[in-house]
Chains A and B, each alone.
Chain A
Amino acid sequence: METSISGKGRPDKEASYLYCVAESRGGGDLGDIGIAGSRVFTISCMGLSAVVQDSRKEIPEPGDKDGMKACLLVHQRVVEIARERFGTVLPLGFGKIIAGDEHKKSEEKVADWLRSSFKDLEIKLKKVEGKAEYGVQVFWDVSLAAGRLADEAPHIRTLRDEIKMKKAGTAFLYEEKLKAELRLCLEEAAARHYRAFYDKIKDVAEDVRIDKCHGTPDDRKMLLNVSCLLDDRQAEMLGEMLDDIAGHEGFSVRYTGPWPPYSFV
């Protein structure tokens, strides 16, 4: 049903750009808050409302990075406003469009989509009702951990002592061996920490999605990057648990939210 802006380019025909779906019999007009100041309104069917705008002219060309970024921010703001108005919403990812054709206007097609997907949308709405998405990223100071390992692990200490007795060429190979051993120990420790933190988070959260870890500009390694679906009580519990993790030497935590539950719909 959907076409993506980035995949298909600017729609030639009359089309509706979708922001989110809410359980509502229609909230009418949300005002001129859409992309390029377009009017955002609802299309309702069977007790569900799709929050949309007309998308004939306002969507930027693929490749227009600044334009896309501005639209993405508007998209997020409209979803946020819809959430304030309707309570629970199912946010749609940026760039979802339903195009009309010679037989049906896009608005009718949106209503058809709400009707045909009613069951699925209802299940998803129930799942996220009263909950929000939170981002959790745990960072690990690898240098600190490596330094500690080098001091504490007996086989690493022995290897380090042996290097001092060797000639330059042999010492170089021993250093390579030491680096490989350290890397192995760090990888094992990272896997252990990851599992421990993930299990703790999973115990608290309603649902967890694992996201890709990114590089950091400093010496810290992003050990874990997840999105969590939480109600208010769970959000508080997770916050306390993350404070505890951040209290351990060498670990830091970024906890963001609440966001509309993009990762869970």
Chain B
Amino acid sequence: MAIEINEDNIKQGLLGLVLALVEIIVETLKHQAVRRMEGGSLTDEEVERLGRTLKELDQAVEAIKDDYGIKECVRSVREGLDSSLNGIFTQATTIR
């Protein structure tokens, strides 16, 4: 089967992959931030600052996806990763 490769394809694919990974990292950060907020170890002001920073980060990621038209690409990379992870979990459960 022939695969069409051109420079634009590679750039878009690479950027999509990077953004997908960035999204996952941002989500992990948000998850941690909520946990710390819940844990009560942050002052109200710290929570507000952390929230603002993460919100800006979130908006920046969305803006890059829009600017480069890679929303679909990122979604597809993430679906692929989800599906691989599901496969690994299913296997692990079966082995256990």
Contact = CB atoms under 8 A, between A and B. Distances in A.
A180 B34 contact: yes
Interface in B28-54: 30-31, 33-34, 37-38, 44, 47-54
B40 to A, nearest CB: 13
B1 interface: yes
Contacts of A169: 47-53, 55
The main secondary structure of chain B at its interface with chain A is helix
A169 B38 CA distance: 15
Contacts of A65: 1
Interface size for chain A: under 10, 10 to 19, 20 to 34, or 35 or more residues? 10 to 19
Given A172-B55, A177-B34, A180-B31, A167 B48 contact: yes
A142 interface: no
Given A176-B30, A176-B34, A180-B34, A171 B51 contact: yes
A6 interface: no
Interface in B1-47: 1, 30-31, 33-34, 37-38, 44, 47
Interface of A: 63, 65, 167-173, 176-177, 180, 215
16 contacts: A168-B51, A168-B55, A169-B49, A169-B50, A169-B52, A170-B44, A170-B47, A172-B52, A172-B55, A173-B30, A173-B33, A173-B34, A173-B37, A173-B50, A176-B33, A177-B34
